Every structure is written in C-alpha cells, then in structure tokens.
Structure 1
C-alpha cells in the first residue's frame, strides 16, 4: 500500500481513554456544542461520525464543508461528570471547504492518532471523484475516479471501507465499484446492481461480507474475496429507499432504516427470510436519519425528524421497547454517533426548510444547525454548587 495514501506498517494502538460504561437511565448532559447560522444557504448538518480511535468527530455542513472536532481533553478519563460542568464551544481543528453537496463520507477503519498516516477519511460528492482527506492538515491525499459508459467521471452516492481498510466500496447508479485503497486512480472492479446504491456497510466479524442498500427499498448481501463476488441473500421489508445500516459486532444481525419509513428493522442473518423485530422512530422526510450501535452491541440509538433521540436495549431476548427517549434538539436530529470508548453521544441537527413562494419566507422560524456532544454515563452533583444552593435557600 502506498505510504502517500495510507501507511501500511502496523503501529500498535494504545488507547488514551479510560473505559466507562454507558448509562441510559438519566437525561443526557450536554458537554459541547458548535452552531452554524441558517441564512439563505441553510447550513444544516448531514450526520456526524466519531473516528475509530475516538479522538475526534467528523461532520459535514451543507454549503460549509467538512469539519473535524477534537474531543475535549478533560473527557478522556473519569467515570463520571459533574452536572455543573460548563458547555464547551466546539471549534473545528480541521476544516475542508469542499464545494458542492457531499453525498457520503467515512473514516479509515485503522485510524490511529499516534500514526498520522492512518488519519484520513473519504468523501464523495456531486460532480466529482471520491476524495481521501488528511485528518491532520485537511489536505487532499488522492482521488478515486469511477467512470460511466460515456467515460465521464461519475459521482459515488455512497462509500465505505472494507473491514481491514484494504478496499473501498463505492455505490453508483448501476453498480458497486471496488477500489484498492493503496492504488488511487481509475482502476476498479464492478459488481452490478439493478438500482441506485444508496447505502453500503461492511461486516467487521465476517470480512468480505457487504450489505448493499438501494433506493428501491432492497438490501442485498454479497461476499467478496479475491476480486470475485457471491450473492448471499436479498432482504425486502422497507417502504422507502435505504439510508442507514449497521452490522452487530458478531455479524449475526443487521439493522436498517429508510427514508419516509418509521421502522428500523433488525434482520437475523442466520435466518434472513423475515425481520427479527422492528422498532419505530419519527422519519417523515427523504433526509438521511442515521442510527448507530454501541461497540458492545447492547444499545441501538437513532435520531428523528422530531429532534428526539431514541434508545433501545437490543441485547434483550424479547421484543425491545424504547428504553429511553431524549428530546435533544429543536430541529431534525439527523446524525447520532456513539463514542467507541467513552459514554459520549454525538448528535447533529438541521434540515432543509422550503421557501414559501407567496411570502418569500421559510415555512418555519425555528432552526438548529448544531453539532453536540452529550454525556450518557454516571453523573454527580458538584458539592460546592450544592453547598451554595443550600446556603442560598437557608438565607431566604
């Protein structure tokens, strides 16, 4: 693999984090926030994703590029957070003013902040090739170019890395193109698809297994090895085009969500003929509303167009009910991402608000284009604050 793209030598990762369990028994405590104005450009966010090593958070803002936020240093350790902790303004450590609409993006799965060569992410956007960006400098490392039948550069609708990071899977209108990560350019192999590939996800437990979601409501599972593909099964059950998917850590389950479809479906891939169970969320637009799964496979979280984050304990043997529902935003919550080591939830909000052609105004006066970090672990009261409250109450 070329050193100019991603470092191939293995560098052991020593996590700087103290592990603490997630606790969805209390309301989330806000830790940090970044806000973008709406204006006419409508700078709403398009999801957020923690880096694999947990040191930084990536988001895309419509019309304002891509931004990397570092996790505040005081959150690396500690089993609890005081409720009086001030909300920290999140300032981008790296910003990339990418032109045009960003369709999809993802981190390199082997990212390790101790090895800068592995710190990078992919993005695909309107009218251009796939870009690999340096997470330290924001520089463009290389491009991967897919072409259509007229030999024109075709933008990828969805992108993801293979579990080992050696390959890049890119969804197009009629196929999935697979690039070698260490070989930028236009060399790729194709797997045909009858419909536009809107979402891709790879299994960590079963390397080579890829779930291909389409705008035609279907999910196809394929196995890839040595440049050849084998069809495994096709899943049907959603009412809208597939927008988000997540494999469980053991690879036995696949969770999926679709646009204008309130159901999140859990598929048991050992018996893929019918859904294992369904849970509901609020999704009444075509916008991509992401879901995420904790690394231990216990907690499934999803945003919603109502601004709420819903949490399910999917480790339960019975049909899971909503474990917790948190109203965290005043606008659509389109992005959720659980930190890999710490009990921290990242959320992204905002959506397109149509213009009223008669009055030349938006159909709402309430906008919230924000990126937030929330503590979902143990909380403790500040003893100094409690003393001050008791003293003030006594004097009154």
Structure 2
C-alpha cells in the first residue's frame, strides 16, 4: 500500500506556485550570436521574437529574426526529461517565420510526438521534428494563382487532431494525420449566403446577455490570432484580425468546430471617449488571443500599439469587457487610452493555474497582473433610475509587480508548465536616426568615391566637383538580445 500511495503521489500534478510579492531571481541568461548577411559584408544583430516551452517543459524553442529556430541552452530543467543528445543548435528556414506552435502532447521521451508546426513565408505549413529539424509532413494552402500562402496564425484544437491556420479572409483546417490540402472556412460571405465575417452586414440574430445583435460581422482582414478554449467539453475557439473594428464589425469572433464558418458571438469593447458607451470592438489590430487555463470562459486579447490587455467573460455580455489590465498608470489616471510606439508583437502569457498574467513592454520592463476573481458588487437598476452594469465603467487593473528585466523591447514572456519559472526574450530593430545626408553636385550628377574627399571630374567644366555618397542601406541593430530565465518560487522558510 505504501508503494502504491507513493506512486499516486508522484503521479498527481499540481500547478506551480509563484511568489509575486518580490522581484524574481535571474537563473540564466544567454546572448544570441550575430549572423552575416549580404555575402558577409554587413552584419546584423539577431534577436528572438518569441519563445515557447515544450508542453513537457524540457526545452524552449525561440523564433529568431534570422529566419531560424533556436532551442535554448536551458536543457534538463524537467527532472524526468530525456533530451536527444543530437539536439541541433539552430534550425534554419528558407524565409521569415510568421508563427509556430508545439504539438499539444509533445514530449522529449516520445519521439513520435516531439514535433512542432511552423509557418514560413511562401511555403506550405511544415511539421518539423524537434530533435533534428527534419520535415515530417507539409500542409498546403494555395490561392487562386497556385501560390503557396503562409498563415499568420496557427493553432491545434484541443483534441490535437486538427490544425487551424488563419490567413487573409479565411481559416484553413487540416487533418493532422492526413497531410496535403485542408478545408477552407471562408470569412467572407458568398453570393449564395450572406452569413460570414466580411461585408457590410452579416444577417444573423445573436443574443449576448441582455442585448441582441441582428447585423454583426467580423472586420475583414488577415486572421492574425487563433486560440482554443482549454475545455475538453467545449469546441469553441476565438479568431482575431489585423483590421481594426468598425461601428458595424468586430475584430474578434467566437467560433465552434461543429458550426464551421458561422460565428457564434462577437466581442465588443467599451469606448470611454464616445458618447454611445459600448462599441463593437477595439480600434486596433489584434496581436494575441488567449483563454484562461483555470477558467476557460475568460478570453484575453492584446492589440497592436496598445499597452492594455482586455478580458471578456463568455458567460455574460460579450459586448463589453469585464476587466482591462493596464501597464501605464499615468495615462490611466489622465483618462487617455494607453498607446505603444511599436508595431512589434509583445506577447503575454498566463500560468497554467490561471492566476497570473505576465507581459513586457518596449522599455524592458515585465509586468505581472493578479487574475484572482474580483468580489465586486453588481449595481442593478432601481426605481430611481440608478446605474446598470452596462453603464458602469470597465474596471482598470494595475500590475501587482513590475521589474526591469532587459534593455530592449520584450517580445514575449512565458511561464514554465511544471515549475515556478518565467522565460523572457528581448530585442527589436533599431536604425540609425541620423544618417548622412546625400549631397549633389552643381551639375546634378553624383559620383561614388571611397575617401569622401572632393575630386575634380574629368571632362567636366571647371568648378564642378563630385561628392561621396553612402550606397549601402542602413542595417538594423538591437540593444539587448538576451534570453533570460527567472525563478518566481517562494522562498523556503528555514526550519527552527
């Protein structure tokens, strides 16, 4: 009995416990090397745009600026992980990488499942072996000109048997076990049916809470984000587009695998600047969507050039968020919508227990928000004309903890699935802000020289001189290209 109890005790999984009352401790940091471009004449600094943990927590895979995947050197973090000895240091791709996703049951002990999918520009979607980078299968998305389309977002469903790929005005669905072509879910209404996501109106009658929307549609554009609800009994998933919402179209919609391309509901947002109150969506491009792992009915979304993360409850009125997480306290107090100065995607993450949300900013600061359920009292309408929940302002939440982690923009932060660890990557493109101006000669012609001195041109009238001109394009640089691992574990109390 003791052996059985010990086996069951080790078999039970408990989510990691995080201590967010103090700044985490840095355990590891590595710099990405430089790569040569243009035949080795110029060099540009390589940085990681995003990193994702393998589901078993054995290794993290970073998507880098030089069109490559790099497994981090922080191997063996999970005690029972057995990683291949021939794990490659770099997985080169033929074109820029748009998105990637681990197979949901990927495990280093199971070679058959140790793989991930990658979307590479102008290539079919690739299913790659994580051990050596070899191609296992490819899934083709072809347009009307017989050109390969690379999706901007990829995601596996909860059953891990379907692969969803979002691109312009459509979502392609593949059977993972049958490579080749998939089933296309049009997000634009056809001539026969007006039901869809694009157009002036989508003739549907949908009841969301106390409101009914009869003419709603998802804004036209590239499907930039996909997320499945982590609920086995549910087949819901969310899709967002790069096109900002409009008065007649939302840029986030909820779908069901069983209902196909017909949206079930749409997401709205409160606009405090407008007199109308509720709006049809956020006036910005969708960067990321994610459901709460502990409470799968909560949907979170981040947007381009915005420092806020919105949260909606699928059980209630989806026309307005229930909470907004803001990293800018000064702008929040002034009443202005927080804005970011970069188009780079700054991805957030939620821990597996659904208690903490972490995100970085352009200054290298990581913010951590508490996702504990709020015990706010609901004010109902009374006979004297009191306020209703739909007219109350959406609560704004400030971070519980913040700390300086990098000296450049933080592309992504991600929680470890098994331990109290946080992984962050930094880097962004920086160009010379004061390039040398081009100077023309009196005759309007120019001549390239190396030493930069003014020289007389042969066969030209006296007094006409040529000047030097820099012909090479400025190369971007990055201030900080590190990948850091942070420990958020509670301090162990010494025994007395």
After superposition, what is the alpha-carbon deviation per residue over 1:139-197, rounded to whole angstroms, capped at 9, x for unaligned?
11111110112222111111111112111110111201111111111233323253211
Question: Larger % of strand: which?
Answer: 1
3-state SS, counterpart of residue 159 of structure 2? coil
Deviation at 1:24, TM superposition (A): 1.1
Contact 1:162 1:202 (8 Å CA) reproduced: yes
Alignment of 1:95-110 (within 5 A): 95-110=90-105
Indicate yes or no: 2:327 matched with 1:300: no
Aligned residues: 355
Deviation at 1:299, TM superposition (A): 0.3
Distance across 1 between alignment mates of 2:122 and 2:253: 26
Indicate yes or no: 2:486 matched with 1:371: no
3-state SS, counterpart of residue 309 of structure 1? strand
Distance across 1 between alignment mates of 2:77 and 2:64: 26
> Relative to 1, partners in 2 of residues 1:291 and 1:74: Cα closer, same or farther, differing over 3 Å?
closer
3-state SS, counterpart of residue 95 of structure 2? coil
After superposition, what is the alpha-carbon deviation per residue over 1:37-86, rounded to whole angstroms, capped at 9, x for unaligned?
46743312111111111111011111151012364436649xxxxxxxxx
Structure 1: state its 5+ residue gaps: 1-13, 78-90, 383-396
Indicate yes or no: 2:323 matched with 1:277: yes
Contact 1:222 1:232 (8 Å CA) reproduced: yes
Contact 1:201 1:211 (8 Å CA) reproduced: yes
Indicate yes or no: 2:62 matched with 1:59: yes
Range moving further from structure 2, 241-250 or 325-334: 241-250
Contact 1:41 1:63 (8 Å CA) reproduced: no
Distance across 1 between alignment mates of 2:404 and 2:474: 23
Q: Provide the residue aligned with 1:324 in structure 2.
A: 401
Indicate yes or no: 2:256 matched with 1:210: no
Q: Provide the residue aligned with 1:157 in structure 2.
A: 152
Deviation at 1:20, TM superposition (A): 4.2
Q: Provide the residue aligned with 1:198 in structure 2.
A: 224
Q: Provide the residue aligned with 1:233 in structure 2.
A: 265
Alignment of 1:171-182 (within 5 A): 171-182=166-177
- Among 218, 239, 257, the alignment partner of 1:224 is 257
After superposition, what is the alpha-carbon deviation per residue over 1:228-251, rounded to whole angstroms, capped at 9, x for unaligned?
344111223323211111101232
Range moving further from structure 2, 129-138 or 278-287: 278-287
Range moving further from structure 2, 60-69 or 364-373: 364-373
Q: Provide the residue aligned with 1:69 in structure 2.
A: 72
Alignment of 1:13-32 (within 5 A): 20-32=16-28
After superposition, what is the alpha-carbon deviation per residue over 1:223-280, rounded to whole angstroms, capped at 9, x for unaligned?
012x834411122332321111110123210010011012110111112110111112
Deviation at 1:380, TM superposition (A): 5.9
Q: TM-score, length-normalised on structure 2?
A: 0.66
Q: Provide the residue aligned with 1:263 in structure 2.
A: 308
Range moving further from structure 2, 362-371 or 132-141: 362-371
What's the Cα RMSD here?
2.8
> Relative to 1, partners in 2 of residues 1:285 and 1:207: Cα closer, same or farther, differing over 3 Å?
same
Distance across 2 between alignment mates of 1:362 and 1:32: 33
Deviation at 1:204, TM superposition (A): 1.4
After superposition, what is the alpha-carbon deviation per residue over 1:93-143, rounded to whole angstroms, capped at 9, x for unaligned?
552111221111111111122211111111112221111111112211111
3-state SS, counterpart of residue 353 of structure 2? coil
3-state SS, counterpart of residue 357 of structure 2? strand
> Relative to 1, partners in 2 of residues 1:281 and 1:354: Cα closer, same or farther, differing over 3 Å?
farther
After superposition, what is the alpha-carbon deviation per residue over 1:342-392, rounded to whole angstroms, capped at 9, x for unaligned?
00000011011124462489799861112111101124699xxxxxxxxxx
> Relative to 1, partners in 2 of residues 1:113 and 1:364: Cα closer, same or farther, differing over 3 Å?
closer
Distance across 1 between alignment mates of 2:30 and 2:236: 36
Q: Select the structure of larger CA radius of gyration.
A: 2
Distance across 1 between alignment mates of 2:477 and 2:91: 29
Contact 2:166 2:225 (8 Å CA) reproduced: yes
